[in-house]
Structure 1
Amino acid sequence: MSDLPAQLPVFPLPGALLFPRWQLPLNIFEPRYLNMIDDVMQEERVIGMIQSMGGPKSKPNLAHTGCAGRITAWSETGDGRYLITLTGLARFNIKQELSVTTPYRQVLADWAPFEGDLYEVAPACMPDRHRLVRALRDYTDVNDMSTDWQAVEEAPLETLINALCSGCPFSVIEKQALVEAQTLKDRAETLITLLEMDVSGPEGGTLQ
């Protein structure tokens, strides 16, 4: 954990989730975030992805927990945008938002609660694939969605869970619950709950 930066630039973006070992492609076009990418490319190439949670558009409220990623692919388009890929490293809690002169926001990161993110998940700690697939089948049937079931069955389980967490149209609060789930098994349980609540309809409730 000591190799991770204490001070972290953050990119608030609702609905865009990053997890350890998961890759997130981003299209960067706002000047303040172009500036951020320029700066981090000269250093450790690490930024924190975090969801915004309401507040003013110019400076939205930040969720308490995000995930840091290292820029592992970078290209510039003819119109000045950056196309980057972040590879997730570990999640963090915000200790404090810093007062900075940069146009982008920076925080002090607390990595300690998520030290386990740095290690591959042991087979004994993996969630139940069959239960997840069953919940997904019910969800796709109710929502009339087509699915590549061969890919679902063959994908590494961690990859499948992260893909569903990122790709399903959950609310910001629901997605934040997925980010904050302590272990991969906890994340899968939260994901299954969200899929089952959608299938059960409005009477199934929502996450608070």
Structure 2
Amino acid sequence: MTLTDRYRRPADLPARIPVFPLRGAILLPRATLPLNIFEPRFLEMIDDVMSGGRVIGILQPLVAGDDDQESPLDKTAGLRSVGCAGRVTSYQELDDGRLIITLTGIIRFESIGETETDKPYRIMSASYDRFANDLTEGLGEELVDRQNLLRVLKTYLEVNRLKTDWASIQRASNEFLINALSVMCPYGPEEKQALLEARDLRSRAEVLVALAEIDLASNGSSGTTLQ
């Protein structure tokens, strides 16, 4: 059974989910996010979810002042209101006690409250209704300016001397390409959140292109030179 088959409507998702607050990281529908789990609180969280629905939320913490913690220890630390629920689709235990997992994105959610718990991790009440369209695979792909996206991406890769399998990129669907690039791109928390909260696939592609062009301009390069 694929994720698309398993989760067809928001009601198929749990109303309360444990969350992994992670600065500078997002997840998007059908994209994947590898995680190296070593903190005791999150090892316990993964143990718990593996015996249940295997769903957790990725939610960025709010950055306060010079607080640059990747994942705040304080359970009262502010969190963003929008995240993405994912299912653990790969799980590996290492000899040193760490876990290597892969999350596959299902649907974005709004955090509408926190559940009190004696667990060392946080559990949020989640509303998925605003993002119900996330459950429809490939929705809006035809509206994406793919040529412009690929052109700017190619320029960005060449300017930054990054190697990639360009043939695989050209074969990828618009949804896979845009969401995977959004998850992997080396931007800061605010830019990542903008990609996460983009209204639809076309809007997310436009944000990606704008961010890449800003980067290129700051390096003295133009995203319009390659055809």
**CA–CA separation in structure 1 for the residues paired with 2:95 and 2:21:** 25
The 1:144–1:20 alpha-carbon spacing in structure 2 relative to 1, beyond 3 Å, is: same
| Residues 126-141 of structure 1 aligned to structure 2 (within 5 Å) | 126-141=143-158
One-letter amino acid matched to 2:43: L
| Cross-structure match for 2:33 | 24
- Is 1:171 aligned to 2:180, yes or no? no
TM score, norm. by length of structure 1:
0.89
One-letter amino acid matched to 1:182: R
- Is 1:120 aligned to 2:129, yes or no? no
| Cross-structure match for 2:73 | 58
**CA–CA separation in structure 2 for the residues paired with 1:83 and 1:149:** 28
Q: Which runs of 4+ in 1 moved over 3 A?
A: 122-126
Question: For this pair of structures, how many residues does the alignment match?
Answer: 203
| Cross-structure match for 1:162 | 179
Contact 2:141–2:202 under 8 Å retained in 1: no
Q: CA deviation at 1:119?
A: 0.8
Instruction: Render the CA deviation track for 1:66-121: whole Å, top value 9, x for unaligned.
Output: 10011122221111111212111100011112332110011111111100011112
| Cross-structure match for 1:10 | 19
| Cross-structure match for 1:206 | none
Contact 1:96–1:107 under 8 Å retained in 2: yes
1:2 aligns to what SS in structure 2? helix
RMSD: 1.9
| Cross-structure match for 1:46 | 55
Q: CA deviation at 1:163?
A: 2.3
Q: CA deviation at 1:123?
A: 6.0
| Cross-structure match for 1:99 | 116
Segments of 5+ residues of structure 1 without an aligned counterpart are: 204-208
| Percent identity between the two aligned chains | 48
**CA–CA separation in structure 1 for the residues paired with 2:89 and 2:164:** 29
| Cross-structure match for 2:6 | none
Select the residue among 174, 194, 209 that pairs with 1:192: 209
Stretch deviating more after TM superposition (170-179 or 22-31): 22-31
| Cross-structure match for 1:149 | 166
TM score, norm. by length of structure 2:
0.82
One-letter amino acid matched to 1:28: I
Stretch deviating more after TM superposition (37-46 or 149-158): 149-158
Q: CA deviation at 1:126?
A: 4.0
Contact 1:28–1:34 under 8 Å retained in 2: yes
